[in-house]
Amino acid sequence: MCGIVGYVGRARGVDGVAPKDHGALDVVLEGLRRLEYRGYDSAGVAVVADGRIESRKKSGKLVNLLNLLAEDPLPAATIGIGHTRWATHGGPTDANAHPHLADGGSLALIHNGIIENFAELKQELLSRGHSFISDTDTEVAAALLGDTYATLVAAGTTAKPLTEAMQLTCQRLEGAFTLLAVHADQPDAVVAARRNSPLVVGLGEGENFLGSDVSGFIDYTRRAVELGQDQIVTITAETVDITDFYGAPAQGKEYHVDWDAAAAEKDGYPSFMEKEIHDQPDAVGATLLGRSAPDGRLTLDELRIDPKLLKTVNKIIVLACGTSAYAGQVAKYAIEHWCRIPTEVELSHEFRYRDPIVDERTLIVSISQSGETMDTLMAVRYAREQGAMTVAICNTNGSTIPRESDAVLYTHAGPEIAVASTKAFLAQITAAYLLGLYLAQLRGNKFQGEIKDILADLAKTPAKIQQILDNSGQIKDLARSMANAKSVLFLGRHVGFPVAMEGALKLKELAYIHAEGFAAGELKHGPIALIEEGQPVVVVVPSPRGRDSLHAKIVSNIQEIRARGAKTIVIAEEGDEAVKAYAEHVFYIPETPTLLAPLLATVPLQIFACELATAKGYDVDQPRNLAKSVTVE
Ligand code: F6R
């Protein structure tokens, strides 16, 4: 939640070195453009120029801020910070937008996260004569920082008052936060802090950067430094100094970003979402790449957990939220089938609060595209405290969840910018399947030849996804014709059940249509009462070549709802003629083994939701009320 950017570049004429051809504002606005997916309730920037802070902020999307800057420009500067907000404390108004100013307007602060003890701090500051103009916890943090800064300066005991003030302030804050501050009297530095909220440093030549993630500075450098928990970083054009909250020197970990700026662009598609749907063959292919030997032996070298320990696992718990949790539910069918290890899938935010049974023989598999979802992070931490082994399946290098897990299996979907997850979902299923097969290999549940056959089928999946993408005209036409639908139901069985729930989630979040996914067998236990004349129902039908009973049962379910007036839209396997008689519309997907079918059956549902939302005129990349990375609990 919230995107944060900071920049310091070489000042004009310093040491006779030419300045950069981009100013602070260029860098900050470009970073905000790339980070806008993290929140778009308001945006704001502050620069230090001519010995004072100049700031502009505006509610609504970044474009509103750009319009304001066109009317009321900021002076050229070599240091700046910027923020794009997902509202927590206080509505999405101009006053609540960041930056917040303090110390008589000489200090500007931006923040991601929630300061849990803000009410108590606010009381304290009010009693000392401070006043507040917003409803935010951020303004309280700014006031505390400004107050501390002024006290340090008055005492004259420090050469780095902003860094020291940040340390002292962070010692008093509770909750999750990334903070970035600049002060007019220290015009060469941005000081930042993080606790349980993301922050990355970008290293340049004669300039340095800060971002919520690397897309905040990907146009300028691909050298990045991961910060640890409870660290403070002070960047100038030439230096990066890291300490803990008590001033002790600390280290970050440098890494190379293997995305380029173009990978984060739309590639000619009208939206990131459409691009990302079309990226899926590559996302699955890249996630499979280099993870098995020619004889089918899986070589997950990055799983640094001792294989002997992995062999002792007697229970797996998959922790995730939203779409990632549906990927986990798909994976459960495969993992239990291949490894014979009981596998539960639990929403991260429910797990921690129910006193779960977890011990050293439990393997926690967290699934998170962003690697920053606070609910999942907290659940992983809790499980580690109970002694469990933790593996993260994650798409974002250097993010917090993999860093805090015992091991990580990265999905190689590339940057996912659209708020609604698509390619990360297919890559997560792929990675979870690799993990399941690896455990089966280790424990000897499967012969090497069997694993090799499944991997061969997985390797054919990207081409099959491509085939669906190349033939998406029919599903798009149907989606457009349904732009006025009030409610759509989705049914599935077995692995088709989480696919149905994912199809419903995509439609809810993109097209704002009521949609529910049900296990088809559950219908007659209640939901069938929803069926009335003309009710659209999308049914994910399993392969007729798989377990016969599954196919036959769902065909009966289709008949039951049709008899009650439902308009049935069926996703079925090529050659399944039987379903035709019961469907208004049939969309065929290529033949594939039952367990791999979600990698195909999800794709038409994504296209359906995206096209329907587009037909309604909605922004599919930035649906209302949502943000890409949910870094609050
Ligand atoms: C829906 C969607 C969300 C995320 C969820 C978890 O399209 O994207 O439901 O899947 O917020 O996010 P990550 O995977 O980043 O932990």
181-199 pLDDT tens trace: 999 999 999 999 999 888 9
Do 150 and 61 fall within a single domain? yes
The pLDDT value recorded for residue 160 is 94
54-86 pLDDT tens trace: 999 999 999 999 999 999 999 999 999 999 998
Cα-to-centroid distance, 333 and ligand 1 (Å): 21
Percent of the chain exceeding pLDDT 90 equals 81
**Alpha carbon nearest to ligand 1 atom 9, residue:** 322
Residue in 570, 573, 565, 603 with CA at minimum distance from that of residue 585: 570
**Residue 112: band (very low, low, confident or very high) from pLDDT cuts 50, 70, 90:** very high
Do 319 and 432 fall within a single domain? yes
Do 387 and 443 fall within a single domain? yes
Residue ranges with strand state E in 200-337: 200-203, 207-211, 223-226, 231-235, 240-244, 253-256, 315-320
Mean pLDDT of 89-103: 93
Do 168 and 289 fall within a single domain? no
131-171 pLDDT tens trace: 999 999 999 999 999 999 999 999 998 899 999 999 999 99
Q: Is the pLDDT of residue 120 over 70?
A: yes
Give a yes or no: residue 345 inside a domain.
Answer: yes
**Alpha carbon nearest to ligand 1 atom 16, residue:** 368
283-332 pLDDT tens trace: 999 999 989 888 889 988 778 888 999 999 999 999 999 999 999 999 99
Provide the pairing of β-strand 487-492 with 536-540: parallel
Give a yes or no: residue 262 inside a domain.
Answer: no
362-406 pLDDT tens trace: 999 999 999 999 999 999 999 999 999 999 999 987 789 999 999
**Alpha carbon nearest to ligand 1 atom 3, residue:** 322
225-237 pLDDT tens trace: 989 999 999 999 9
Do 392 and 468 fall within a single domain? no
The pLDDT value recorded for residue 14 is 46
Give a yes or no: residue 365 inside a domain.
Answer: yes
What CATH code is carried by the domain that includes residue 64?
3.60.20.10
Give a yes or no: residue 263 inside a domain.
Answer: no
What CATH code is carried by the domain that includes residue 330?
3.40.50.10490
Give a yes or no: residue 510 inside a domain.
Answer: yes
Given 400, 432, 459, which residue is the final one in a domain? 459
Do 454 and 468 fall within a single domain? no
Mean pLDDT of 433-447: 92
Cα-to-centroid distance, 320 and ligand 1 (Å): 8
Do 209 and 196 fall within a single domain? yes
Do 479 and 589 fall within a single domain? yes
Q: Is the pLDDT of residue 264 over 80?
A: no
Cα-to-centroid distance, 273 and ligand 1 (Å): 14
Quick check: is 2 catalytic?
yes
Quick check: is 321 catalytic?
no
Give a yes or no: residue 242 inside a domain.
Answer: yes
Mean pLDDT of 512-540: 95
pTM of the model: 0.84
Residue in 631, 617, 418 with CA at minimum distance from that of residue 506: 418
Chain centroid to CA 20: how far?
32
Mean pLDDT of 519-532: 93
Do 532 and 392 fall within a single domain? no
The residue range of the domain holding 534 is: 462-633
Do 224 and 288 fall within a single domain? no
**Residue 445: band (very low, low, confident or very high) from pLDDT cuts 50, 70, 90:** confident
Cα-to-centroid distance, 64 and ligand 1 (Å): 27
Given 257, 282, 302, which residue is the final one in a domain? 257
Give the range among 8-22, 74-88, 99-113, 606-620 with minimum mean pLDDT. Answer: 8-22
Contact in structure between 324 and 427 (CB atoms under 8 Å)? no
Give residues (CB < 6 A) around ligand 1: 321-324, 368-370, 373, 376, 420-421, 505, 509, 629-630
What are residue 554's phi and psi, to 5 degrees?
-75, -30
The pLDDT value recorded for residue 13 is 47
Do 278 and 389 fall within a single domain? yes
Domain count for the chain, please give it: 3
Given 426, 459, 492, which residue is the final one in a domain? 459
What are residue 324's phi and psi, to 5 degrees?
-65, -30
Do 207 and 90 fall within a single domain? yes
